[in-house]
Amino acid sequence: MSSRPRKSTGKRPREPTPPPTETEFSITEHQVRFERLSGLRFGKTRYLDLSIVRSIQGGDSVADEIGELLSVGSWERLMVIRDSVIRPFTLEVLASFEFDRGYSSFTEGTTVQFRALGRHYSLSMSQFSIGMGLYEEAFTETEEYSLLPTDYPGTVTPQQAYSRLCGQGQYEPGVSKASCLSRPAYRCLHAVMSRSISGRGDSTGVLSRQELLYLYSMVESEPLHLGHIVADYIRHQGQYPRVGVIFAGPYITRLLIGLGLRDGVRGAEKTNVPVPLGTDTLRMMGMIRRGGSGTYTWIIPHTEQGEGSRVALEPPPQDTETEVPPTAPEPPPVRMFSPSRGQDRLERLESAVGILQTEVAEVRATQITQHQEVMAQFQSLRQIFEQIVASSSFMVRPRVSPPPPSPPTSADPPANPEPPAAPEATTQDTDAEAS
**Nearest-CA neighbor of 287 among 306, 302, 269, 268?**
302
**Nearest-CA neighbor of 218 among 190, 241, 194?**
190
Cβ-proximal residues to 432 (8 Å cutoff; 6+ apart), any chain: none
pLDDT of residue 216: 95
Least confident of 21-25, 188-192, 341-345: 341-345
123-179 residue pLDDT tens: 999 999 999 999 999 999 999 999 999 999 888 999 999 999 998 789 998 888 888
Query: Which is higher by pLDDT, 359 or 423?
Result: 359
Least confident of 105-119, 131-145, 277-291, 307-321: 307-321
pLDDT at residue 329 tops 50? no
Cβ-proximal residues to 251 (8 Å cutoff; 6+ apart), any chain: 81, 132, 197, 230, 233, 234
Report strand pairing: 41-42 vs 245-246: parallel
pLDDT of residue 358: 63
Give dist(CA 169, CA 164) in Å, integer.
Answer: 10
Least confident of 32-36, 219-223, 331-335, 398-402: 331-335
pLDDT at residue 310 tops 70? no
pLDDT of residue 268: 87
Q: Please report which confidence band the pLDDT of residue 18 belongs to, taking 50, 70 and 90 as the band edges.
A: very low
Which of 5-9, 40-44, 168-172 tops mean pLDDT?
Answer: 40-44
pLDDT at residue 12 tops 50? no
pLDDT of residue 284: 85
Q: Please report which confidence band the pLDDT of residue 224 belongs to, taking 50, 70 and 90 as the band edges.
A: very high
Tally DSSP H helices, then E strands, for the chain.
17, 9
> Residue 258 in contact with residue 130, Cβ under 8 Å?
yes
Strand (E) positions, 17-108?
Answer: 41-42, 46-47, 98-99
Q: 297: part of which helix (H) or strand (E)?
A: strand 296-298
pLDDT at residue 49 tops 60? yes
Q: Please report which confidence band the pLDDT of residue 14 belongs to, taking 50, 70 and 90 as the band edges.
A: very low
Give the chain's mean pLDDT.
79
Paired strand residues for 46: 275
343-388 residue pLDDT tens: 556 656 766 666 676 667 667 767 877 888 888 888 888 888 888 8
Q: Please report which confidence band the pLDDT of residue 400 belongs to, taking 50, 70 and 90 as the band edges.
A: low
Cβ-proximal residues to 235 (8 Å cutoff; 6+ apart), any chain: 97, 98, 99
pLDDT of residue 186: 93
pLDDT at residue 304 tops 70? no
Q: Please report which confidence band the pLDDT of residue 17 belongs to, taking 50, 70 and 90 as the band edges.
A: very low
| CA 393, chain centre distance (Å) | 69
Q: Please report which confidence band the pLDDT of residue 106 belongs to, taking 50, 70 and 90 as the band edges.
A: confident
Give dist(CA 300, CA 140) in Å, integer.
Answer: 41
pLDDT of residue 398: 59
190-206 residue pLDDT tens: 999 988 998 766 567 88
Query: Which is higher by pLDDT, 275 or 430?
Result: 275
The vertex-316 CA angle with 195 and 219, nearest 5°, equals: 50
pLDDT at residue 113 tops 60? yes
CB atoms within 10 A of CB 417: 7
pLDDT at residue 317 tops 70? no
pLDDT at residue 325 tops 70? no
Give dist(CA 203, CA 206) in Å, integer.
Answer: 5
Q: 305: part of which helix (H) or strand (E)?
A: helix 302-305
pLDDT at residue 99 tops 90? yes
Ramachandran bin of 20, using left for φ above 0, alpha for ψ from -120 to 50, beta for the remaining angles: beta
